[in-house]
Amino acid sequence: MSSKESVLIIEDENNILSFLSTVFTAANYHVLKAKDGAEAFMMITSYCPDLILLDLGLPDTDGLKIIKSVRTWSQVPIIVVSARTHEKDKIAALDFGADDYITKPFGTGELLARVRAALRHVRRIQAQDVTVQKGIFVVGEFSIDFDKRRIILQNQDIHLTQNEYKLVALLAKYAGKVLTYDYIIKNLWGPNMKCDNQILRVNMANIRRKIEINPAEPKYIFTEVGVGYRMVEAD
């Protein structure tokens, strides 16, 4: 799969955070990390991960508050990994919007299986979206194979995260037209997402490092200052 899925691990215990990071990196996920609630909110809003792995016992907030807040604007899968084993804790997390709950200690095989299941569910929903592009977009040495979700530059696969891919695909769908920051944010992250251009700047900076020979002088995606972004028209 050319577009790596990103997993945000929210865990305050360094040894567990390091262990999980190693496990998910080895499983070919793009790993993001946060040790407390404040850092978690920053990572979620800046990078919009494809899945969140959440410990409830954080030093500055209860993980339930993170679930409740995220669910006001995003349906990103959230899997709780917690030492709390009481039924009431599991019910609360699931009622607040968590997709799954696994207790510590856990087997890495089971955890990875649950993550794969959650991501498969998201992909099935995306596949039913009638706005999803089909076919191939080509401009110069850059191409997008929408059916295979592949980005190719100079005959080499470019590895994008799921959110980076979705941003590039949306711009390619309307190639030649300027899409405003607000339009892009609402289409990619839902109508309740705040129009915070920082989230786009971070994603676009990462994309340009990967698809542009010289990110300072882009050939494929242009910035319309103060307005939005535009993909060059196809050949």
Q: What is the 3-state secondary structure (H, E, C) of 148-167?
A: CCEEEECCEEECEEHHHHHH
What does the pLDDT read at residue 130?
43
Domain ranges of the chain: 3-127, 136-231
Residues 190/74, Cβ–Cβ less than 8 Å: yes
pLDDT at 5 over 50: yes
Start-to-end C-alpha separation, the chain? 26
* 92, 137, 172, 195, 222 from 146: Cα distances, Å: 39, 8, 10, 27, 21
Q: Which of 138, 54, 43, 59 is nearest to 96 (CA)?
A: 54
Contacts of 172 (CB under 8 A, 6+ apart): 133, 137, 144, 231, 234
96 residue type, one letter: F
User: What are the phi and psi torsion angles at 176 (to 5°)?
Assistant: 95, -15
Q: Which residues are registered as beta bridge partners of 230?
A: 178, 222
Q: Establish whether domains 3-127 and 136-231 are of one fold.
A: no
Taking the C-alpha atoms of residue 203 and residue 205, their distance in angstroms, rounded to an integer, is: 6
Taking the C-alpha atoms of residue 171 and residue 192, their distance in angstroms, rounded to an integer, is: 21
Question: Checking DSSP bridges between strand 142-145 and strand 136-139, what pairing results, if any?
Answer: antiparallel
Give the residue with greater pLDDT, 48 vs 9. 9
Q: How does pLDDT run across 124-138, given as a tens digit for each residue?
A: 766 655 445 778 999
Among 3.20.20.70, 3.40.50.2300, 3.30.70.1400, 3.40.50.300, what is the CATH number of 3-127?
3.40.50.2300
Residue 4 three-state SS: strand
Give CA torsion, residues 20, 22, 23, 25, to 10 deg. 120
The CATH classification number of 136-231 equals 1.10.10.10
Taking the C-alpha atoms of residue 185 and residue 208, their distance in angstroms, rounded to an integer, is: 18
Taking the C-alpha atoms of residue 180 and residue 187, their distance in angstroms, rounded to an integer, is: 11
Which structure tokens are listed for 117? 């299941």
pLDDT at 1 over 70: no
Question: Whole-model pTM above 0.75?
Answer: no
pLDDT at 121 over 90: no
Contacts of 233 (CB under 8 A, 6+ apart): 139, 175, 176
Give the residue with greater pLDDT, 160 vs 24. 24
pLDDT at 185 over 60: yes
Q: What is the CA radius of gyration of the chain?
A: 19
